[in-house]
């Protein structure tokens, strides 16, 4: 956002009267502008849609959608939860919330698929398979994602540590021995967790291989990692939509499982005996899923 505002201020003297109105509106109401069409933005500031499009091009974008996309990325990490509620709720159909949210999640999955880097994904898989010890970090809304990944990795590896923490100091105490040969997987989406970022920076400085599961290249996790696995997230009212990140983690678990198929089969066969002996599942439900309690 700072760079966008700087660009507008640097070029402000060269803008036409209409372009100055657009710049002023964006600088004062970027949270609203991010969800406005070019036509709506033009209507609110009193200029034509074509003026809005030319303004975006003047700033170096190939069109208004690119400018709008940057604004949306900014607000995901800048807005407070209360602001997120106000802004995003205005774009959810109150008469059909279910379909509005499901449709938005489908779009995030589609974008994640289109932007997927399969080479980076395979490199991350190989790094995990070669790790001496694997640490998984995810706090706040990312904690369930970290737990899900840790649950299934425990079926494959004996060297997993799911970092449980409520403070920065506790996090460092649990990763203090991370070193070269280890892998640290950090999971965070807007608003990004400083605790996760600091832990990943520490691990990288200790020589560990760091894998970020986050949303884009400008994420603070991305900047301190060796491998980046991106999944699109977005605001669904005051909550985070983490459907695409979970799907990415599913793919990571499956990829690891395919590489360690024999080991997993042996583990599952042993578990089936234990489940039966200790009556973990109701009769006939043993094969219905590992995550049922």
Domains (range + CATH), the chain: 2-78 (1.10.10.10), 113-259 (3.40.50.10490)
- Give alpha helix (H) positions in 79-229: 81-89, 97-115, 118-129, 143-153, 168-175, 194-205, 220-223
pLDDT by residue (tens digit) across 137-160?
999 889 999 999 999 999 999 999
b/e string for 100-118 if b means 16 or more Cβ within 10 A? Answer: ebeebbeebbeebeeeeee
Residue with the two structure tokens 């009212």: 237
CB 232 within 8 A of CB 200: no
Q: Positive or negative, the Cα torsion across 97, 187, 224, 229? A: negative
Confidence of residue 129 (pLDDT cuts 50, 70, 90): very high
User: Does residue 269 have a pLDDT over 90?
Assistant: no
Pairwise CA distance, residues 152 & 205, whole Å: 28
CB 201 within 8 A of CB 173: no
Please give the structure tokens belonging to residue 198: 């600091």
Closest CA to 142 of 188, 185, 108, 184: 188
Of all residues in the chain, what percent carry a pLDDT higher than 70?
85
Q: State mean pLDDT over 2-8.
A: 78
Confidence (pTM): 0.72
3-state secondary structure of 74: helix
Pairwise CA distance, residues 197 & 9, whole Å: 31
With 0-12 / 13-18 / 19 or more C-beta atoms within 10 angstroms meaning exposed / middle / buried, residue 72 is middle
The residues with which 240 forms a beta bridge, in sequence order, are: 235
- pLDDT for the residue numbered 78: 62
Please give the structure tokens belonging to residue 211: 């894998």
User: Does residue 289 have a pLDDT over 60?
Assistant: no
């Amino acid at each position: 956002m700072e760079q966008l505002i700087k660009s507008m201020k640097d070029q402000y003297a060269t803008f036409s009267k209409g372009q100055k109105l657009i710049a002023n509106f964006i600088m004062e109401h970027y949270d609203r502008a991010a969800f406005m069409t070019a036509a709506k933005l033009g209507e609110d500031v009193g200029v034509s849609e074509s003026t809005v499009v030319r303004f975006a091009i003047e700033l170096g974008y190939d069109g208004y959608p690119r400018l709008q996309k940057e604004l949306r990325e900014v607000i995901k990490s800048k807005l407070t939860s209360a602001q997120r509620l106000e802004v995003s709720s205005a774009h959810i159909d109150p008469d059909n919330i279910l379909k509005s949210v499901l449709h938005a999640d489908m779009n995030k999955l589609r974008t994640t698929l289109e932007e997927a880097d399969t080479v980076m994904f395979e490199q991350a898989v190989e790094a995990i398979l070669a790790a001496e010890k694997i640490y998984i970090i995810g706090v706040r809304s990312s904690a369930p994602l970290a737990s899900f990944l840790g649950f299934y990795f425990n079926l494959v590896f004996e060297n997993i540590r799911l970092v449980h923490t409520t403070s920065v100091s506790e996090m460092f105490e649990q990763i203090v021995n991370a070193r070269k040969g280890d892998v640290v997987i950090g999971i965070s989406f807007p608003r990004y967790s400083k605790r996760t970022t600091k832990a990943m920076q520490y691990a990288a400085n200790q020589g560990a291989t760091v894998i970020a599961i986050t949303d884009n290249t400008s994420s603070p996790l991305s900047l301190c990692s060796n491998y980046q696995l991106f999944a699109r997230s977005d605001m669904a009212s005051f909550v985070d939509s983490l459907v695409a990140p979970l799907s990415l983690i599913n793919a990571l678990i499956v990829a690891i499982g395919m590489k360690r198929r024999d080991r997993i089969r042996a583990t599952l066969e042993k578990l089936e005996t234990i489940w039966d002996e200790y009556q973990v599942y109701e009769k006939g439900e043993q094969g219905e899923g590992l995550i049922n309690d």
